[in-house]
Structure 1
């Protein structure tokens, strides 16, 4: 018996020596403490299980299209029998990402659609719905327009010129999403360009104004005619108004559900709850709603000036000094590549995701790494990165592009 125990102990010690040092023995998670850029060559659903909980700040990836290319590997994603199987598999990856992503993290998913029997399968939209069911928020549906899109011989429909990129975050309004808009702002353009000083006067009328005088075409057309908007000057915080209304409910011995019934469920069932919230989903009652609340709850005039009095505000908005919000239409060519049979993810996509959502020295993950473009960009932007790729041919390309990458 003693010999058997010694033999088992020796066998266990042998396995420990053979085990990579970057694997934590207790839970088989990778130790990320000494990793700058790492590559896991494995099936994505197996590889992602090795990543510790809440260790990744940003995920940006582009899975293979469904039914487009066969890499002769039964572990590959994109070769399922039907679109539903593909959708479910991408959703499984999403579930694991939910585990490994930090609470303030972000997930950017570029996903392409396909046709079956001349009909679009709506694969991106089906995946997005699955993700919502898992507990994700869809912050944006970004349209990636490709000026150099593939020419199409079709004559009975329009050519496909764009793909969808979904921007997901965890479904928790009380957590602050790590989103740095200033890092991706687009500098304001001016129609005035460097000219001969003698010609400046001829071009000065084309200089863009520093104020946006409203959204209406008339406001832009008639420069001398200012536009106004009607607004209230509410200085009380959302919490202050919420607490005031809660006290009024208590004094009248009614709850929010009863208040909604009195106000009218059809109109207020999705509205009134927001008056009592103090997170990002909270809102102030409108002028008309405040009047109705006052009739029912009979509270004093303490906040009437703020909630009922309206003012005219000039509809002119100063441009942000750092530039404008880039918006949800993204224009970028597919990247050229010296490698055959490979559609390269343009660097602009991971760059936007990483700059806006991943602080320096934090981790980016690309679970469908392909040729490793996300890793190249992360390295350039001084972020750490984990890449997952099942195809060994692509892994060779990644190692060629990122010389100091560590195989995990």
Structure 2
């Protein structure tokens, strides 16, 4: 087992290839994985062995399949995987090279995706990867749309601009840890009024309803939930016509603004995403892993929620950036605590 690049209490960073480091971690040692691998053909991080610059679509998918095969082994049986992936287009008509007005962080030579599909095609990469992982045994539970209200404008005239990315929730088995109450949203005033009426004028009280489970009727929603799921998502059915006293299910469209990071890592997702994923998908005092740690946004969310963190990053400068952000966050939350 390699030595950590840096560790301090609940946070640990490893420098290296995600698949290689995951292969060295003990089986079942993390409770939740929240990650966003490099997207296909969009960024050149200038690191040997970087992901996202594979020559073909199939090669990129195979790389992620092998990586998440190791991730599946490391994840606890009742753990959850939250995978954020953005899409990209096949190369434009001038070949595989970028145009003069492209972002300088984009690769000079793009992967030869046009060998697989004609130019200007949306590759559908998130779904290609999701289906490949599904074939490997992952259970695909949700396809969440991350809507970006402040998405960057795009200078395109023959299609509408892209304002979303995908977040897939995947698990290893049918029963897993999921705390829906932790991410419920407040009811609107109109919805709250409806809830009071349907609950017999007792806002905040237990909702009692009848349901059928394995040939038996259960009358108390809280008892059912506690017995079978812990603080987990309730089964579906007509009983959801009654508003839950703790708030509404946030649904599978998350409207979350991007947050520019004035540092070397230019593709960090907003902390709101890992905060929500960890709150719902990681048991209290559990361990969160991000195999593509980048600027350690997932680590900051894990620390806020009192979870341990294991991060893997192939770029040493990004490891240094991640360490600096974790230390700074720790200093802000506990000014008298030594940085370590």
Root-mean-square deviation over aligned CA pairs: 2.8
Q: CA deviation at 1:63?
A: 0.9
Give the structure 2 partner of residue 147 of structure 1.
149
Give the structure 2 partner of residue 211 of structure 1.
195
Q: How does 1:221-240 map to 2 (within 5 A)?
A: 238=214
Once residues 341 and 101 of structure 1 are traced to their aligned partners in structure 2, the CA distance between those partners, rounded to angstroms, is: 27
Superimposed CA distance per residue, residues 293-317 of structure 1 (whole angstroms, 9 cap, x where no aligned partner):
xxxxxxxxxxxxxxxxxxxx9x994
Choose which of 259, 263, 267 in structure 2 pairs with 1:343.
267
Superimposed CA distance per residue, residues 329-353 of structure 1 (whole angstroms, 9 cap, x where no aligned partner):
0111111211145122111110111
Choose which of 149, 156, 159 in structure 2 pairs with 1:157.
159
Q: How many residues are matched?
A: 269
TM-score by length of 2: 0.73
1:374 and 2:298 correspond: yes
Once residues 337 and 234 of structure 1 are traced to their aligned partners in structure 2, the CA distance between those partners, rounded to angstroms, is: 48
Once residues 388 and 234 of structure 1 are traced to their aligned partners in structure 2, the CA distance between those partners, rounded to angstroms, is: 45
Tell whether the 8 Å contact from 1:41 to 1:388 is kept in structure 2 after alignment.
yes
Q: How does 1:226-265 map to 2 (within 5 A)?
A: 238=214
SS of the equivalent of 1:387 reads strand
Tell whether the 8 Å contact from 1:143 to 1:165 is kept in structure 2 after alignment.
yes
Once residues 157 and 143 of structure 2 are traced to their aligned partners in structure 1, the CA distance between those partners, rounded to angstroms, is: 28
1:333 and 2:335 correspond: no
Once residues 240 and 280 of structure 2 are traced to their aligned partners in structure 1, the CA distance between those partners, rounded to angstroms, is: 28
Choose which of 261, 268, 279 in structure 2 pairs with 1:355.
279
Tell whether the 8 Å contact from 1:335 to 1:343 is kept in structure 2 after alignment.
no
Once residues 47 and 327 of structure 1 are traced to their aligned partners in structure 2, the CA distance between those partners, rounded to angstroms, is: 34
Once residues 294 and 49 of structure 2 are traced to their aligned partners in structure 1, the CA distance between those partners, rounded to angstroms, is: 15
1:390 and 2:314 correspond: yes
Tell whether the 8 Å contact from 1:137 to 1:168 is kept in structure 2 after alignment.
yes
Tell whether the 8 Å contact from 2:195 to 2:243 is kept in structure 1 after alignment.
yes
Give the structure 2 partner of residue 133 of structure 1.
135
Tell whether the 8 Å contact from 1:212 to 1:317 is kept in structure 2 after alignment.
no
Q: CA deviation at 1:238?
A: 2.0
Once residues 124 and 213 of structure 1 are traced to their aligned partners in structure 2, the CA distance between those partners, rounded to angstroms, is: 43
1:98 and 2:22 correspond: no
Tell whether the 8 Å contact from 1:347 to 1:377 is kept in structure 2 after alignment.
yes
Once residues 120 and 385 of structure 1 are traced to their aligned partners in structure 2, the CA distance between those partners, rounded to angstroms, is: 35
Tell whether the 8 Å contact from 1:36 to 1:384 is kept in structure 2 after alignment.
yes
Tell whether the 8 Å contact from 1:334 to 1:343 is kept in structure 2 after alignment.
no
Once residues 196 and 36 of structure 2 are traced to their aligned partners in structure 1, the CA distance between those partners, rounded to angstroms, is: 37
1:177 and 2:151 correspond: no
Tell whether the 8 Å contact from 1:43 to 1:390 is kept in structure 2 after alignment.
yes
Tell whether the 8 Å contact from 2:148 to 2:255 is kept in structure 1 after alignment.
yes
Name the structure where helix makes up a greater proportion of residues. Answer: 1
Tell whether the 8 Å contact from 2:142 to 2:252 is kept in structure 1 after alignment.
yes
Once residues 242 and 155 of structure 2 are traced to their aligned partners in structure 1, the CA distance between those partners, rounded to angstroms, is: 47
Q: CA deviation at 1:97?
A: 1.1
Give the structure 1 partner of residue 82 of structure 2.
108
Tell whether the 8 Å contact from 2:79 to 2:176 is kept in structure 1 after alignment.
yes
Relative to structure 1, the CA distance from residue 186 to residue 47 in structure 2 (aligned partners, 3 Å threshold; closer, same or farther) is: same
TM-score by length of 1: 0.61
